[in-house]
Structure 1
Amino acid sequence: MGTFCARVWEIIRACVNKTFSYKPKPPHSFILGHLGVFNETVKFFPPNTHPQAYYTALTQNRPSDHGPSYPMHEETDNFLTPIVGKDVIAAANGKKWKMLHHIMAPVFKPAYIKSMLPTIADETMLFHGRLTCAAESGEVVLMEDTVANFVFDVIGRFVFNFPLHAQTIGSQVLGDIRVLLESASLAATTTWNPVAKVARYLKKRAAVGRLDSYISEKLKERYSIVKESAKYHGPYPNSEDAGRGSRLR
């Protein structure tokens, strides 16, 4: 029996090696896979680090161990759908990715970013003031929440051109987005507790309703501004002068 098992093991190992040996990869164990290399990488990070940091470190430290980029897996879209909706650029491939990239590219043009520097500076000063007050008073602050508020306000000014006040009085929109993130967490999606599932579903549905209503209203306001501006400056934005964002303000 032992001889038979050993023979089967050799056959399986030979097949696996023949199938995957030509592909670039870190040192591999037939039993543990890449857990050995992964464990070595994890040791350099503090507890509760996001797994993406591990993968990035592996890629940077072992550039010869990985091959070409592959299409985004459908599970990425499944994970992001409850948070930001289906078919977002972070999970898209091929023509769909190119279309979404074409739509979003004008916002990241250097000319447009430069026109938004005063806005970024205003929000940065609020962020600096918040940290200064905390340092002077000895208050303990959660940097993750504080930085999230800062980034959220900057993005809000970029998209809607008005403050969302996450750094000052707080933002219901940011709170609702956090509810969506919690609903997509591993603990929320794997629980067997029916009461917890129903409670999370109702909480998520309420948050989605508020977000849809708020964003729809602001998009209509923004569209009115763009439409009014087009009467005096011509259609905007377009592929030729999308960088001149100051025309809308």
Structure 2
Amino acid sequence: MFGVSNWLIAATMALATAIYWISKALYMQLRFRGLPQPPKHSWIWAHTTIWEETAAKLPPFTHPQHVYTYLAQKYNMPGIFYVDMWPFVESQVVITDPDAAQLVLTTNPYPKHPTIEKFLRPFTGPDSIAASNGERWKYNHRMVGSGFTPTYVKPMAGMIAEQVLIFHERLKGFAESGEPFSMEEEAAKTVFDVIGKVVFGFSLEAQTTGSPLLEDLRASINPATTFISTRNPWKKRKAEKGLQALRDRVRKTLADEMNERLRVLQDEKELPSRRQVKSVLDRIVLDRIQSGPGATLDDAFIDTAVTNLKALLLGGHGTTTDTFTWVAMLLSLYPDVVARLREEHDAHFSPDLDTTVQLLVANPAATNDLAFTNAVIKETLRFFPIGFTIRQAPPGVTHLTWNGRRWPVKNLMVVPCAHSTHMDPGVWGQDSKSFRPDRFLGDEARDTHRFAWRPFERGPRACIAQDLAMDELRIMMLLTVRWFDFETVVGGGGGTSERVMYMDLDGRVGDLAFQMVGMEARPRHDMKMKVKLREGK
């Protein structure tokens, strides 16, 4: 009797579960009926079949923004369309139209989706500035944001140039050896030394003696591909377990530095003002001291600060590192662009390296005159936007009104996909697949929709370090392009046949044209390159 009862209970539970799943699947079918979406929407598999088919056309571990762009152009999707991935992940409303994107980014800024926090937590810790919302985000932004304002960043040009000089010398060494090297790894060391100066007030010596902190941080983000690409909970658990020791070590390094700065500042006869301190870390500690007498750095405060410092170090070095790597790759393919860059640099700066650096120290605003250099960076970021955001509808919001229609957004991932906008011929013209920096100059640039180019996103949640990143990139180009020729080492399989309609770079560099999923949309295979020192340099 007891056995029969157990059997009935189990059967009832199984039936109830089956009814729930079938009902949910039918609900999703009905919910998406009449909405723009890719074909092959199955009531069992939803859009996972067409998603997997599309992903299979691309190199392994390609960032999902390329899948959205492919679907948008292959199936002629409008500026808002839907991708149903339930029950595997939450279903999505994808936004590619710049006007529609503006609605969710600035007009009524949608908060970050919990998926961002879930993904970043193993690497940065909970509630980082990149993932938090509401009052927590405001607190995080007050803690670290002021260290990246244009007035604070611009005078750093001389400091950036000093670090790039070391990079310049390292490139000379690679030119002499003729051996291929990882441009991503070398650029990362340079950028990390810069971000170290911004955050801590001193170089982390990643380019010279080596930085254990950089090694730990880069090791800690290596499992990011596993977290995103696998549905195997055991693989994710194994990756998570391997992160713990790294997290503990990074926390101790940052906490020790914070306590040392607390001791130094408390020993000062007169506390400096916020404007006088020279690092983000000192601003954090100074605010703590001024919060009340006998202030200490308790564990909760340290945890919050460490989480945000890690987010800055990872995001700050990743964005610039990846973009310079893409710049170098593109310059290896477009000698006419290189010639124009050299002409512009010669017109505004001395042909002598040391004199150029001295001018940057004396006049940090001198890089503002490099219009074509800026255009090359912008065009690179159009092809390879680093950031990727997922939002959710605010409480009480069920629909988005755009183009005379109400679009459901409740209980969906809201994906304003910058890459899809960047590659859209309807936004950028029929040559949108071509690398053409001139689109960011003159009248053409002025006539472009301000939300058409969004590599750092727009609105209050835009990347706080974008001004620093752009200055770093201009200076890195200024101190390298006139001295070196870049050569991309194409490898890693996949051939060089064109496989997508939205760009033709894969016909020249194969798999390297497709950003790889990670903490950000990053270069593939560490981007192996060679450099040659120009004659007479």
TM-score scaled to structure 1, two decimals?
Answer: 0.69
Deviation at 1:167, TM superposition (A): 1.4
Q: 2:167–2:190: 8 Å Cα contact kept in structure 1? A: yes
Deviation at 1:96, TM superposition (A): 2.1
Change (3 A) 1:106 1:138: same
Q: Which residue, 127, 130, 141 being the options, matches 2:181?
A: 141
Deviation at 1:140, TM superposition (A): 1.3
> How far does the alpha carbon of each residue in 1:199-232 deviate from its partner, in whole angstroms, 9 at most, with x for none?
973x53432332222212222333445556681x
Deviation at 1:157, TM superposition (A): 0.8
CA distance in 2, matches of 1:87, 1:29: 38
Query: Which amino acid is 1:30 matched to?
Result: H
> How far does the alpha carbon of each residue in 1:122-161 deviate from its partner, in whole angstroms, 9 at most, with x for none?
1112222222321232021112211221221111110001
The reply on whether 1:30 has 2:45 as its aligned counterpart is: no
> How far does the alpha carbon of each residue in 1:146-200 deviate from its partner, in whole angstroms, 9 at most, with x for none?
122122111111000111111122111111112322345417994748xx94x97
TM-score scaled to structure 2, two decimals?
Answer: 0.35
SS in 2 for 1:177: helix
Moved more, 222-231 or 90-99: 222-231
Query: Which amino acid is 1:213 matched to?
Result: K
SS in 2 for 1:111: helix
SS in 2 for 1:135: helix
Partner of 1:177: 217
Partner of 2:368: none
The reply on whether 1:115 has 2:155 as its aligned counterpart is: yes
Deviation at 1:54, TM superposition (A): 4.8
Q: 2:54–2:70: 8 Å Cα contact kept in structure 1? A: no
SS in 1 for 2:181: coil
- Matched ranges for 1:152-163 at <5 A: 152-163=192-203
Deviation at 1:56, TM superposition (A): 7.3
Q: 1:112–1:245: 8 Å Cα contact kept in structure 2? A: no
The reply on whether 1:72 has 2:112 as its aligned counterpart is: yes
Change (3 A) 1:36 1:207: closer
- Matched ranges for 1:89-238 at <5 A: 89-186=129-226, 190=232, 192=234, 197=238, 201=241, 204-227=243-266, 231=270, 235-237=272-274
CA distance in 2, matches of 1:51, 1:132: 37
Q: Which has the higher contact order (CA 8 A, sep 6+)?
A: 2
Unaligned stretches of 5+ residues in structure 1: 1-11
Query: Which amino acid is 2:47 matched to?
Result: G
CA distance in 2, matches of 1:74, 1:140: 41
CA distance in 2, matches of 1:170, 1:160: 16
Length, aligned pairs only: 225
CA distance in 1, matches of 2:71, 2:139: 31
CA distance in 2, matches of 1:129, 1:57: 41
Deviation at 1:47, TM superposition (A): 5.7
CA distance in 1, matches of 2:147, 2:69: 26
More strand by share: 2
Q: Which residue, 50, 67, 76 being the options, matches 2:63?
A: 50
SS in 1 for 2:130: helix
CA distance in 1, matches of 2:204, 2:69: 32
Deviation at 1:34, TM superposition (A): 8.0
Query: Which amino acid is 1:129 matched to?
Result: E
Give me the CA root mean square deviation.
Answer: 4.1
More helix by share: 1
Unaligned stretches of 5+ residues in structure 2: 1-23, 81-94, 283-537
Q: 1:115–1:245: 8 Å Cα contact kept in structure 2? A: no
